Structure 1
């Protein structure tokens, strides 16, 4: 049975276990005079049955599926004759790929060695046996786990404590998994970045003025070392992000003030969802709009007044990106402005301040932590955007602060460096990890700044 179908069947069994647990709990409570005579509510007995049905089966299934493929492949390779058995890791991967292609039908058996075709047949049989075995084991565990939990239901059972303890461990496991995932990502990026800086000096990377990572295949070719000065990428990223924030922050903040303080409830009920729709538009749509509409318009407008404007410019990408991140500023600012206590407004108005003075002197300072959080979130979104920059600003790593010229960003170069078949022992590919590390440090610094601002002003206005 396929994994998806097995999960669906397991979900049905969990629902059945939940229902039967509830029925048994209420059935035991009825002769005693009602559920008030049970130690826990019937819901907790139902949850206990469902958890015992689900957790053992899912745990075994997860461990099984994590290792079965590698074990089966090793067993198949061990059956090959010594004359065609792979001698190193690269040959081993090639042989495995060939066997899997024959087993899946992508490669006719007549095109390969008969021993490879026989190995493909063994692989198919072992995979079918493995699928049947995991199905049987998972279903048996689910049935026995649910049945055992159902039989153990009694009025004196502390089902609530048991369920809450299991859920507490599950929540802790999820939190630990999230932390370990973050640590793993940082460690992998840092490890590859150290390899990169072992080939390219850190100072050359951080302060170099030329970015040309196209390394040659042979040492005797021209530009075999490449140029890995990241300053043009840093400048391009900051330039486009600055233009985007100059568009998004004033428009988003003024929109939030209007919707929270001036708009009629009917206008607000329509305008706020309409504004937030911008956040749901795919970035590739914004990229098309920037490349086909905004960039040509800026070029024609600039040429009409005698300016030289590139067909792909930082201004076009920044303007469209600013429109895209308006909801990040407006929605969060609107929420925090609305959450300012009404007593602060009433006190200011009672002292004779006008509505606009109250907004400037009372509401905005009180809502400043949330507003800054929205602005920094929008800045992080702008720094990490790729598609709009690719389609509207181009790939040229030009060191310029002129918004009418083509520039590129860190994220675009990461995608470019990792596109296609790459060797992860070359400086060109490892440069992507160094850029990712710089991007991570920048985002982390912005988050630390946001937390500092929130903490400082929250203490002042609590």
Structure 2
């Protein structure tokens, strides 16, 4: 129920009309091909379904491409047009133009709700221009909350935004339907019994598959570019040496700029330290579980144990975080805290590196065990039989034959677990605390890069301040470290794969 409501209905109507045209095109294309062959399918170059698919694809693909481009370009162009209405005085006073445009868009959505609900007509809303208080009250009556004060500038920009959006949506529908009809007529006209419909359709499907495969690559490129540009902006405002070699993390959102200490070393140390603890837990347990399931367990035990083990991977990380905070942390305090089992006060609070690392290790067990189990099972049985034929025991065969042959896959499983550990956030926030520390004591509170990325991008800080832009520098640095880790692991995998293939 938003203007959103009207916008989505118009978009939904356009999509439904295009899909209906695809169905009609498929039916008419098939009938036209059969008609040109006097109903004898043997005279057709391709199967009759290909002719209908050709018409349907000719309708769907161009219209979908145009619709996607329009949906991306229209908001950008509208924002650029609305930005011209922002007073120079507001910009000079340091107001964020993006926030002002966001307020205008929020008010525009609210006005559409008012019209959509039938509370007031457009003409009546226009009559309220002189009294912005009435507009705010009117939006509140229909349940639309507007956080900031509605000024005359905001109201004028909202009405301009709304007009441009409605006009753009109308032309979008006409343009998409026109392209769909053009594709429909063009494909239907060249449909006859000698038309090589199968070749055209298969080429079209190949292009679609290639486009789908390119999405992952383009997404990666987009992520990297966004990180690079924002990281450059951060280093323009904050010294790179202080970031990479600083040992203190004390950001300040007071607006004093240089009052912040944004040292990277405590964060990357906490990330690696907690990840190492988690791997110390996950790798032995996961690898031993995989060896047992693949080499020792009966089929009945394996059928029950493996799905039960893999359930751990499906538990939300917030649940693991609560488990660390409410269960594991207090247990560790009772064991290592004041008056604990060992009589030494090593741990003063439940939030510590060992709390988050141990719970994260439990979460990572299925990542190691499941992949390692599949890799061990993929080792040829002939290698086992040859070892047994030479007189080796089962344990000797596992140590000296199976594990070396499966080593590349096991390294890949450990790498996946490591990447998962480095990128974990919720368990760290709830289990390890928020203190940036360079300590070697696992019973102290620590934090990670990902946790600080979240904290720096939330709150009321200005987006162009170093305290906020540092999140992109953290993400870029972590990306480079993970990439180097992947390259090293790939080198190890290839080296041993050549040895045991």
1:7-86 correspondence to structure 2 within 5 Å:
7-22=15-30, 25=33, 31-32=39-40, 34=41, 37-72=43-78
**Separation in 2 of the partners of 1:442 and 1:348?**
40
Per the TM alignment, residue 72 of structure 1 is displaced from its structure 2 partner at its CA by 4.4
Output one character per residue of 1:156-204: Cα deviation in whole Å (capped at 9) or x when no partner: 2222322232233334444444334323322332333334344544343
Task: Please say if 1:226 is aligned against 2:248.
Answer: no
Q: Which runs of 5+ in 1 are unaligned?
A: none
Which residue of 426, 436, 440 corresponds with 2:479?
440
1:242-391 correspondence to structure 2 within 5 Å:
242-303=276-337, 304=340, 305-306=342-343, 307-309=345-347, 310-391=349-430
Give the match for residue 4 of structure 2.
Answer: none
What is the aligned residue count? 452
Task: Please say if 1:403 is aligned against 2:437.
Answer: no
* Greater Cα shift, 99-108 or 441-450: 99-108
1:87-98 correspondence to structure 2 within 5 Å:
96-98=101-103
**Separation in 1 of the partners of 2:160 and 2:459?**
33
SS at match of 1:2: helix
**Separation in 2 of the partners of 1:275 and 1:285?**
17
- CA distance 1:93–1:377, shift in 2 (3 Å): closer
Task: Please say if 1:170 is aligned against 2:190.
Answer: no
Give yes or no for contact 2:33–2:193 (8 Å, CA) kept in 1: yes
* Greater Cα shift, 119-128 or 352-361: 119-128
Give yes or no for contact 2:286–2:368 (8 Å, CA) kept in 1: yes
- CA distance 1:40–1:73, shift in 2 (3 Å): same
**Separation in 2 of the partners of 1:137 and 1:337?**
56
- CA distance 1:38–1:114, shift in 2 (3 Å): same
- CA distance 1:77–1:410, shift in 2 (3 Å): closer
1:148-167 correspondence to structure 2 within 5 Å:
148-167=186-205
Per the TM alignment, residue 126 of structure 1 is displaced from its structure 2 partner at its CA by 4.3
**Separation in 2 of the partners of 1:371 and 1:16?**
53
Give yes or no for contact 1:86–1:92 (8 Å, CA) kept in 2: no
Which residue of 414, 433, 439 corresponds with 2:453?
414
Which residue of 189, 213, 219 corresponds with 1:181?
219
Give yes or no for contact 1:247–1:319 (8 Å, CA) kept in 2: yes
Task: Please say if 1:192 is aligned against 2:192.
Answer: no
**Separation in 1 of the partners of 2:39 and 2:109?**
60
**Separation in 1 of the partners of 2:306 and 2:30?**
43
**Separation in 2 of the partners of 1:311 and 1:207?**
30
Give the match for residue 104 of structure 1.
Answer: 109
**Separation in 1 of the partners of 2:252 and 2:105?**
35
Give yes or no for contact 1:14–1:53 (8 Å, CA) kept in 2: yes
Give yes or no for contact 1:86–1:95 (8 Å, CA) kept in 2: no
**Separation in 1 of the partners of 2:324 and 2:230?**
34
- CA distance 1:289–1:98, shift in 2 (3 Å): closer
Per the TM alignment, residue 415 of structure 1 is displaced from its structure 2 partner at its CA by 1.1
Q: Which runs of 5+ in 2 are unaligned?
A: 1-8, 115-124, 133-149
SS at match of 1:407: coil
Per the TM alignment, residue 130 of structure 1 is displaced from its structure 2 partner at its CA by 3.1
**Separation in 1 of the partners of 2:394 and 2:443?**
41
Give yes or no for contact 1:235–1:401 (8 Å, CA) kept in 2: no
Cα RMSD of the aligned pairs, angstroms, is: 3.0
Give yes or no for contact 1:369–1:454 (8 Å, CA) kept in 2: yes
Give yes or no for contact 2:34–2:193 (8 Å, CA) kept in 1: no
Per the TM alignment, residue 16 of structure 1 is displaced from its structure 2 partner at its CA by 4.6
**Separation in 2 of the partners of 1:189 and 1:201?**
17
**Separation in 1 of the partners of 2:334 and 2:154?**
63
**Separation in 2 of the partners of 1:431 and 1:74?**
27
**Separation in 1 of the partners of 2:465 and 2:368?**
41
**Separation in 2 of the partners of 1:68 and 1:373?**
44
Give the match for residue 141 of structure 2.
Answer: none
Per the TM alignment, residue 382 of structure 1 is displaced from its structure 2 partner at its CA by 0.2
Per the TM alignment, residue 205 of structure 1 is displaced from its structure 2 partner at its CA by 2.7
Give the match for residue 269 of structure 2.
Answer: 235
Per the TM alignment, residue 23 of structure 1 is displaced from its structure 2 partner at its CA by 5.4
**Separation in 2 of the partners of 1:461 and 1:42?**
51
**Separation in 1 of the partners of 2:154 and 2:253?**
38
Output one character per residue of 1:269-325: Cα deviation in whole Å (capped at 9) or x when no partner: 222222212111111011011101110111111131223312211111011101111
